[in-house]
């Protein structure tokens, strides 16, 4: 026997074929994330408008600083405080938002935004057939609801206070009626407040709801003109005190004469 012949030992490996790496874990994690996103989207689609607005507001401002220093509504991506200097930025942003409203082409001639001594005035004026409200009523039409909801969702992101006014033309009610232009103007302003606070405006954001009847006509030389019937939203300026955290609304000056516009 040859003692110099080498001895070869064969070892059989057990198990399932060795290590395959962790790539499957990454793929599984991506799948779980995608499923979670799908469930969130499905939940939001079946949620109320208020929940959708709240969730959208969180992603726009997850730190919650918008309540203190404004929001990125001006399209710059930076927080800002709405003052006399940058109120035109809000006007531009709102005009962009309301263009997305259904039937905007039909409504655009009845919406006017003006930067004034009070702040940004947003006037929603009626047509002869009634654009935003049923004739002689405080019941909002679908177009009026959609527009006010859009405005509420935008303005609700701001720290600025809101004043809401109702105005009528000079067409009187019957002398025997227990309801008149004073009641109608105040009721329409309150109807606007209710729908806006239910869809974006904060509970303490509206500081005034005023009804003026026909005492501040848009067209004094045509007191029966339908455009005298209107709702006016005023986004009031915010003045900062010495402390950056301490902000208050600017004092409200006497309302400007609408006929001067």
What are the structural domains, with CATH classification, of the chain?
Answer: 25-57 (no CATH), 85-236 (3.30.1330.60)
Q: DSSP letter string over 90-114?
A: HHHHHHHHHTTSTTHHHHGGGEEEE
The answer, yes or no, to whether residue 244 has pLDDT greater than 80, is no
pLDDT of residue 247: 46
Cα angle for residues 135, 150, 246 (degrees, 5° grid): 115
> Which ranges in 108-180 belong to alpha helices (H)?
142-155
Q: Is the pLDDT of residue 167 over 90?
A: yes
- This prediction has a pTM of 0.63
Q: Are 136 and 144 in contact (CB under 8 A)?
A: no
- On the question of pLDDT at 73 being above 60, the answer is no
Q: What is the pLDDT of residue 49?
A: 62
Summarised one tens digit per residue, pLDDT across range 58-72 is 666 565 544 433 444
Q: What's the CA gap between 155 and 94, in Å, rounded?
A: 9
pLDDT, residue 250, reads 53
């004073």: which residue's tokens? Answer: 182
Judged by average pLDDT, the poorest of 73-77, 145-149, 154-158, 218-222 is 73-77
Share the mean pLDDT of the chain: 79
Q: What is the mean pLDDT of residues 232-246?
A: 67
- Classify burial at 112, counting beta carbons within 10 Å of its beta carbon; exposed 0-12, middle 13-18, buried 19 or more: middle
Sheet of 111-115: strand order equals 111-115, 119-125, 230-236, 162-167, 206-211
Lowest mean pLDDT among 21-35, 109-123, 137-151, 239-253: 239-253
Q: Is the pLDDT of residue 133 over 70?
A: yes
Give 239 or 184, the one with higher predicted confidence: 184
Distance of alpha carbon 97 from alpha carbon 142, whole angstroms: 17
Rounded distance between C-alpha atoms, residue 103 and residue 146, angstroms: 10
Among the ranges given (74-83, 90-99, 103-112), the one the predictor scored with the smallest mean pLDDT: 74-83
Where does the pLDDT of residue 148 fall: very low under 50, low under 70, confident under 90, or very high at 90 and above? very high
What is the average per-residue pLDDT within 178-207? 95
Q: Look at residue 36 and give its three-state secondary structure.
A: helix
| pLDDT interval class at 25 (50, 70, 90) | confident
Distance between CA atoms of residues 166 and 120, nearest Å: 16
């Amino acid at each position: 026997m040859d003692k110099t012949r080498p001895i070869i030992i064969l070892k059989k490996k057990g198990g399932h074929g060795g290590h395959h790496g962790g790539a499957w874990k990454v793929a599984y994690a991506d799948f779980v994330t995608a499923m979670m996103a799908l469930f969130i989207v499905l939940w939001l689609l079946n949620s109320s408008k208020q929940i959708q607005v709240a969730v959208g507001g969180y992603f726009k401002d997850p730190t919650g600083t918008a309540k203190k220093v404004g929001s990125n509504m001006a399209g710059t991506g930076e927080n800002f405080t709405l003052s006399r200097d940058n109120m035109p930025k809000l006007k531009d942003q709102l005009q962009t938002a309301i263009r997305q409203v259904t039937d905007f082409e039909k409504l655009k001639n009845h919406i006017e935004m003006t930067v004034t001594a009070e702040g940004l005035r947003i006037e929603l004026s009626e047509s002869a057939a009634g654009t935003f409200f049923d004739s002689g009523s405080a019941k909002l039409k679908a177009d009026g609801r959609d527009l006010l909801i859009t405005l509420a969702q935008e303005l609700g992101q701001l720290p600025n206070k809101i004043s809401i006014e109702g105005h009528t033309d000079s067409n009187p009610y019957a002398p025997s009626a227990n309801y008149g232009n004073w009641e109608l103007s105040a009721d329409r302003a309150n109807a606007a407040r209710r729908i806006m606070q239910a869809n974006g405006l904060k509970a303490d954001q509206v500081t005034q709801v005023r009804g003026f009847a026909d005492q501040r006509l848009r067209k004094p030389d045509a007191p029966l003109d339908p455009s005298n019937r209107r709702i006016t939203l005023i986004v009031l300026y915010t003045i900062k005190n010495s402390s950056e955290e301490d902000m208050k609304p600017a004092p409200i000056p006497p309302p400007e004469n609408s006929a001067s516009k």
